[in-house]
Amino acid sequence: MHWQGVIRHYGRFFTFVPDEAVITLLEGNTPLIPAPALARRIAPGTELYLKYEGLNPTGSFKDRGMTMAVSKAKADGSDSVICASTGNTSASAAAYAARAGMKAFVLIPEGKIALGKLSQAMIHGAQVLQVLGNFDDALSLVKEVSSKYPVTLVNSLNPYRIEGQKSAAFEIVDALGDAPDYHILPVGNAGNITAYWAGYKEYRAAGKSKRLPAMLGWQAEGAAPIVRGAPVAKPETVATAIRIGNPASWKQAEAARDESGGLIRMVSDAEILEAYKMVAETEGIFCEPASAASIAGVIKLGTERFFQAGQRLVCTLTGHGLKDPDNAIAQSVAPVTIPPVLGDVLRILGF
């Protein structure tokens, strides 16, 4: 059957939304791609899968939550949404609001979001405010505005965002027939690790799986408040999507870690960029730097001999690499410029 989006497919696990209020771009149903070559390099003997969330309609996992948050806002009579964002949430909010005929207001840290994401918010007609501060400053502002004025907050503090994002865990269990041994993902504002863990638990309670994965979350070294146990006032990382110093779902992320017997650790920018190139070159999959924090985490644990042969690992690749062309170009070999002459082509190709 034609895919109908996460609400129509998994709606029985979500708060009820009347069908006529459903705002969907047919998000979800993303591929769970086996990555045997990458597994041989970084975690030999394991079965490694990549949940490629970059293939959602706006290029990130945020669409799973945004369909629920915007549909519910619409159903409840709201005419506008607001969010703080490192880029992907704003892109998704702008697109879903456009489709709903609602206004979107987005607050982003000035100069610190990837160009593709900024272009998305702009083309969908959102009112974009660049804050001379970081994501955490922007989040404080939108919390205040939405608590006092008639506009719906669509950051992951909105419980419907988390509900929709659970669908990724459902899809993984549906694809594998059970939960994996480990689920590995980047952690920024910590909504996604919260959502996956809720999804895995709910699906098992519904008899859809026999077991639960251990959740392995990864922060960037310069933006690792959960790992360090204290907010980071000036978070910095090349992975701008997770450049967050005081995550909204901090406690829920710790609960996911502890209940699942998992961990939340950190990787350096150099490790993130190495993983970013490796997954692109080894498996032909282009993700954004923040997404590669999950791969960097597997590399780190692989060198510590953390995994055992036969174990199943799922890494979420949270966003598409095309979101952030600047980083891709900066990390790659520059094109060679030549005159339109056959001899030059042959010389350079080595024929």
Burial 162-173, CB ≥16 within 10 A → b, else e: bbbbbbbbbbbb
User: Kind and range of the H or E element at 70?
Assistant: helix 62-75
Q: Please say which residue, 156 or 260, places its beta carbon nearer to ligand F0G.
A: 156
CA–CA separation, 280 vs 298, rounded Å? 15
* Distance in Å, CB of 269 to ligand F0G, minimum: 15
Nearer to ligand F0G, 47 or 245 (CB): 245
Neighbours of 76 (CB within 10 A): 10
Smallest separation, CB 280 to ligand F0G (Å): 15
Backbone conformation region of residue 346, classed left if phi is above 0, alpha if psi is from -120 to 50, else beta: alpha
- SS3 state at 83: strand
With respect to ligand F0G, which residue has the nearer C-beta, 142 or 179?
Answer: 142
Residues that bind ligand F0G (CB under 6 A): 60, 62, 85-89, 156, 186-192, 241-242, 288, 290-291, 318-319
Q: In which element (H, E) is residue 34 found?
A: strand 32-34
Q: How far is the CB of 186 from ligand F0G (least distance, A)?
A: 4
- The sheet carrying 103-109 orders its strands as 127-131, 103-109, 80-84, 152-153
Kindly state the smallest distance separating residue 224's Cβ from ligand F0G, in Å. Answer: 12
- DSSP-derived secondary structure for 181-230: SEEEEE-SSSHHHHHHHHHHHHHHHTTS-S--PEEEEEEETTB-HHHHTS
CB of 138 to ligand F0G, least distance (A): 9
Compare residues 21 and 129 and give the one whose CB is closer to ligand F0G: 129
What is the β-pairing status of strands 103-109 and 152-153? unpaired
Q: Which helix (H) or strand (E) holds 326?
A: helix 325-330
Beta carbon nearer to ligand F0G, 35 or 154? 154
Phi/psi for 50 (5° steps) reads -115, 120
CB of residue 131 to ligand F0G, shortest distance in Å? 12
Shortest distance, CB of residue 99 to ligand F0G, whole angstroms?
18
Residue 150 burial (C-beta neighbours within 10 Å; 0-12, 13-18, 19+): exposed
Q: Of the two residues 165 and 209, which places its CB atom closer to ligand F0G in the complex? A: 165
Our CB check for ligand F0G shows the closer of 62 and 72 to be: 62
Q: Which is nearer to ligand F0G, 42 or 193 (CB)?
A: 193
Contact at 8 Å (CB) between 215 and 260? Answer: yes
Q: Which sign, positive or negative, has the C-alpha torsion 177, 183, 184, 189?
A: positive
- Of 22 and 220, nearer to ligand F0G (C-beta) is 220
Question: Least distance (Å) from ligand F0G to the CB of residue 349?
Answer: 36
CB of 203 to ligand F0G, least distance (A): 19
> Cβ-count burial of 151 within 10 angstroms (0-12 exposed, 13-18 middle, 19+ buried)?
buried
